[in-house]
C-alpha cells in the first residue's frame, strides 16, 4: 500500500501574511497537494490571490488544486480542480482542463457518488467528514470502513477530510486513506509544527 500523504486546504483568508505561512508549512515536511479555497470573491480577485501561492507550490513541486471553480482553474493553469456535487461534472472539467489535470470530487459518505465519480474519470474521491469540524458545516458523517471498502474495490486514490488532526488520523491511515485533507488543524496554530506532527503520525519522517 502506498504511503498516506498530506493534502493541505487553505483557510478562507489567503492574503496578507498567508503566503509566508504556506511556504513555512510546505518546507516543514512533505506535502502532496494544496487546495486553494476562497469564497465570495470574484474570479479576478481570486486569481490575484492565487498567484503567489501557486508560485510557492510550483517551486516545491506541490500540486496546486482550485476548489469549486473549473473556470478559475483553467484561467490560472492550476494543476487541477476539486469539485463539490454542485460544481460541474468531471467530464466538463476534463474537457476544459485537459487530460493532465487532477480532478477530485467530494463524495461525502456516499458509495454511490464515489462510484459515479470513478466511472466518470475522477483522479481521486474525497470522503468526509470523519470528525467534527469548524471549517465548514458538517452535513455528512463518514466512517473508516468506507475507506476500507473503497480500497478493496478501486485503484483511484481516496482522500479523507473533516476535523482530522495528528492525534486522530491513525484509524483513517490504517483504513487506507491515500491522502488526509486538513485545514484547521494546520492553520489555527503553528503551521510548521502542525505539518511536522502530521508527518510523524504518517510515518514519513
pLDDT in tens, 80-113: 999 999 999 999 999 999 999 999 999 999 999 9
Domain boundaries, the chain: 5-202
Q: What is the pLDDT of residue 79?
A: 98
Of the chain, the end-to-end C-alpha distance in Å amounts to 17
Phi-psi group of 25: left, alpha or beta (phi > 0 → left; psi -120 to 50 → alpha; rest → beta): alpha
pTM of the model: 0.96
The three-point CA angle 60-124-140 to 5° equals 115
CATH architecture of 5-202: Alpha-Beta Barrel (3.20)
Contact 29, 191 (CB under 8 A): no
Does residue 98 sit in helix, strand or coil?
coil
Amino acid at each position: 500500500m502506498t504511503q498516506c500523504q498530506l493534502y493541505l486546504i487553505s483557510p478562507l483568508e489567503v492574503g496578507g501574511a498567508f503566503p509566508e505561512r504556506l511556504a513555512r508549512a510546505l518546507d516543514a515536511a512533505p506535502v502532496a497537494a494544496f487546495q486553494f479555497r476562497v469564497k465570495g470573491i470574484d474570479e479576478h480577485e481570486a486569481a490575484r490571490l492565487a498567484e503567489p501561492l501557486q508560485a510557492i507550490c510550483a517551486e516545491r513541486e506541490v500540486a496546486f488544486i482550485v476548489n469549486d471553480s473549473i473556470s478559475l482553474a483553467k484561467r490560472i493553469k492550476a494543476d487541477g480542480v476539486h469539485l463539490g456535487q454542485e460544481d460541474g461534472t468531471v467530464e466538463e472539467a476534463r474537457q476544459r482542463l485537459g487530460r493532465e489535470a487532477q480532478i477530485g470530487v467530494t463524495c461525502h459518505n456516499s458509495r454511490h457518488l464515489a462510484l459515479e465519480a470513478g466511472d466518470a474519470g475522477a483522479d481521486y474521491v474525497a470522503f468526509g467528514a470523519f470528525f467534527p469540524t469548524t471549517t465548514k458545516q458538517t452535513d455528512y458523517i463518514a466512517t473508516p470502513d468506507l475507506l476500507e471498502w473503497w480500497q478493496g474495490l478501486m485503484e483511484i486514490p481516496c482522500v479523507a477530510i473533516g476535523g482530522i488532526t495528528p492525534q486522530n488520523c491513525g484509524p483513517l491511515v490504517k483504513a487506507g486513506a491515500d491522502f488526509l485533507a486538513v485545514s484547521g488543524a494546520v492553520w489555527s496554530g503553528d503551521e510548521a509544527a502542525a505539518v511536522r506532527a502530521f508527518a510523524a503520525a504518517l510515518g514519513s519522517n
